[in-house]
A and B are shown apart, each in its own frame.
Chain A
Amino acid sequence: MEILVCVRRVPDTSENEIRLNDAGNDIERDELVYSINEWDNYAVEEALQIASRTGGKVTVVTVGSEDDEEVLRRQMAMGAHQAVLLADEAFDGSDGQGIATILSAFVKKGGYDLILTGVQAEDGAGQVGGMLAAMLDYPFASLVNAIEVVDGKTLRVGREVEGGNQEMHEIDLPCVLSIQTGINEPRYVGMRGIRQVASVPIPTLGAGDLGVDPASVGRTGARVTRTDYFVPVLGKGAEMLGGSREEIIDKLIELMRANGGLK
């Protein structure tokens, strides 16, 4: 089975405290730790496991810039057979629909049986997989937490739904699935593995190579644009306890008693 996994490099929210820049038009990107989007990492692992059972290759692709090569290499070190970078100035500022448009042009140039994305990215909202499927007119399932290959034409997939229940579906190939975290245990990638793929060439394709109309993507094509960032205020905010750890613990115990958490 030929499998394509769409991945992204994102600031790692578990490693970073995200702050706004002084202008308020972007997050402060200096000193941010970037990594593979967590959902995408599970998607690559799932692709590798399927390919090892059915045969075939796993390709990873991203829409981005040279900086994003590091995540493509990391996924090759994990076992992906090849990687492609889709980069062009015309792609800058694309909204979700723009990204899906670029990816769909790339998919049409290959012969993939199965296309995986992560459910969402750290800075996204779970949109690219579903839009890509609709553009390709492939069937789609989101929040996938189990995949079983029935035969060369069909998969049986589980979707994670309310309350931890799992909705089972049969889906025809080719299809697009968005992968939920926890579907597998992604393998560890060591420095040695990354060194081994350090010089593997990664082809770069632009708008011309893909036959993408530059006006349909990037800032020009975007119908959904961010105007600024701000720090959210959801509730009244917590009463922050200060002082020494000992003082904080005493205060906390008092509060827990008052609220029924300690007899």
Chain B
Amino acid sequence: MPRIFTYIEHRAGVPDDTAAELAAAAARIDGSAAPTAILAGAGPDLAAAANALKATHAEIWTIAADALAHPNAELARQALVAVLPPGSIVLVPHAHFGLDLAPGLAVKLKAAYIPDVLAIEGLESGSLNVVRQEYGGQVSAHVRGDVSSGAVVTIRPGAIKPQPGASANGTVVDKSSTVGTLSARRRYLNTVVAEVGEVDITKHAVLVSVGRGIQDQDNVKIAEELAQTLGAAVSCSRPVVDAKWLEKSRQVGSSGKTVKPKVYLACGISGSFQHLAGLKGSPFIVAINKNPAAPIFQVADVGIVDDVLEFLPELTTRVREIHGA
């Protein structure tokens, strides 16, 4: 059985939520052996994050270097290649840092690369069987990866539920001395924090959220009229921001805002996982979409197959009638 490692992202001394999800994924591959957590970073933050994992992990490897204090996947990759035993299976969150790190890590380890995994069905005679999604989540696929030379597997955040594990009282092993001098042809400069727009969509109980189905900038006003009638705010999915129809501060999703409304009207939104990652607090989701196969219908509470350009104005009119009555 190959040794399984989980790559732990951490911030300000706290391991990311994905740490427990990766541990659960590892248990799906091999239930008999606990995975080894592996963390790169610097200073007290790294030590604190490693200590926080002791309760749930039997073994935690740390790689400390000043150069690893800031996000730089090229440096992290060099460090991992230096410490990982050949043939290992490495689990990495399929998120912003993982997309930078994992594909190249697989190449340098000469391992198979199995990206964006939603579920793990198990390891069977050198093959890892997993579930992935394609075409924006409209269809899923069973995928088999040959892991006989090891594998780098990225796990979609939120897809695999953390399992309550036995208390571990783990040990931290400092692997820093195994890693030689790190040098990158890419240098981290700074992080520009997202602007808060004139409307703060994170503060609203009701959101009228528009996606590609709104079709044109001029049609955004259809959603604005409904929002005004409901006392709601207009938010959106990524394609609307890409097309410059609304400000970035209105975007819901992993690359936009995280919102917790009571009611979320998803209008012409297909429901990519990046978008759904920005929806927290179990809102009542109403999905209106022309495409009955849109993934949003799998997660919505109520679904309506219709053209938002026709449906929304009629809904607005009806709500106004009720308010007028």
Contacts and interface: CB of A to CB of B under 8 A. Distances in A.
Given A125-B132, A170-B189, A239-B301, A164 B257 contact: yes
B140 A131 contact: no
Interface residues of B, number: 100
Contacts of A17: 138, 291-293
Interface class of chain A by DSSP: mixed
Interface string B89-113: 0000011110110111111100011
Interface of B: 71-74, 77, 94-97, 99-100, 102-108, 112-116, 129, 132-146, 149, 154, 184-194, 205-206, 212, 230-232, 238-239, 241-242, 244, 248-249, 251, 254-258, 262-263, 265, 270, 284-287, 291-293, 295, 297-306, 310-311, 314-315, 318-319, 322
Contacts of B292: 17
A75 interface: no
B77 to A, nearest CB: 8
A64 interface: no
B139 A134 contact: no
Contact of B263 (A141, A169, A260): A260
B140 A230 contact: yes
Contacts of B184: 139
Majority DSSP secondary structure for residues of B touching A: mixed
16 contacts: A18-B138, A20-B139, A122-B136, A125-B94, A126-B115, A169-B187, A172-B185, A227-B141, A234-B295, A235-B299, A237-B297, A241-B302, A241-B304, A245-B306, A245-B311, A261-B205
A119 B206 contact: no
Given A240-B303, A252-B302, A165 B192 contact: yes
Contacts of A249: 311, 314-315, 318
A20 to B, nearest CB: 6
Interface residues of A, number: 84
Nearest to A183: B242
